[in-house]
Amino acid sequence: MGVLAGKTALVTGGSRGIGRGIAERLGREGARVAVHYGSNETAAKETVAAIEEAGGEAFALGQELGVPGDAAALWESFDAAVGGEGGLDILVNNAGIAASKPFATLDEEEYDRVFAVNTRAPFFLAQLGAGRLRDGGRIINISTGLTKTALMPDLIAYSMSKAALDVFTRDLSKVLGPRRITVNAVAPGIIDTDINADWLRGDEQAWAGAAAMSALGGVGTPAEIADVVAFLASEDARWVTGHWIDATGGSLS
């Protein structure tokens, strides 16, 4: 029996990368995990299968984020999936996108899209999910170390959207605190995921440069972020809320 046995979790963007690492970790701790995906159903089903093979329970939920009505539609699918056993204990707002263009060429459409996925969707998922979230529950927002440094200024819109998520985390902790619901943010640094594969894995210099940023001398893995999330989801973190946790491996030191 894991420390999250009997709990139900929803992980947005849970089919790949950091999200998959989180979903699998919560599953190993005994939580029933709703694995959300935006478009890659195959990857979501693979994540569900991995959780089940490890002895856990999971199901996939598909819903594009960043579009009108996204949060309501996702919760409707969640309610249908859990049926009479409704209710939620852990919400992990992990899904996010980065702008592909720097400041000088970023257009309004892409800017709005970044904020719609990274900031607006978590806001309304939490707002509409609060009634489903049981007292003593957890909301964990995945931020970035880039909200504290100008190390990658070409990702300015992405960093701005996550900075807004940090403020949301802080203020929401006060709103939901009376119900003993904790709200925290976890900020990864450079993580070895398929999203970073093109520039990171195929270039020895890029890998060495990324590793050199960390005080620990390495590139982070999804499992290392998932372990932090699992702690925040557990009873051991019941007195931690409104906090921004640096999980960059000391890259901000």
Active site residues: 158
Contact of 14 with 20, CB cutoff 8 Å: yes
Burial (CB count within 10 angstroms: exposed 0-12, middle 13-18, buried 19+), residue 126: buried
Residue 56 to residues 182, 223, 228, 232, Cα–Cα distance (Å): 24, 17, 19, 19
Question: What are the φ and ψ backbone dihedral angles of 35, each rounded to 5 degrees?
Answer: -95, 105
Angle between helices 156-176 and 121-129 (to 10 degrees): 20
Question: What are the φ and ψ backbone dihedral angles of 182, each rounded to 5 degrees?
Answer: -95, 150
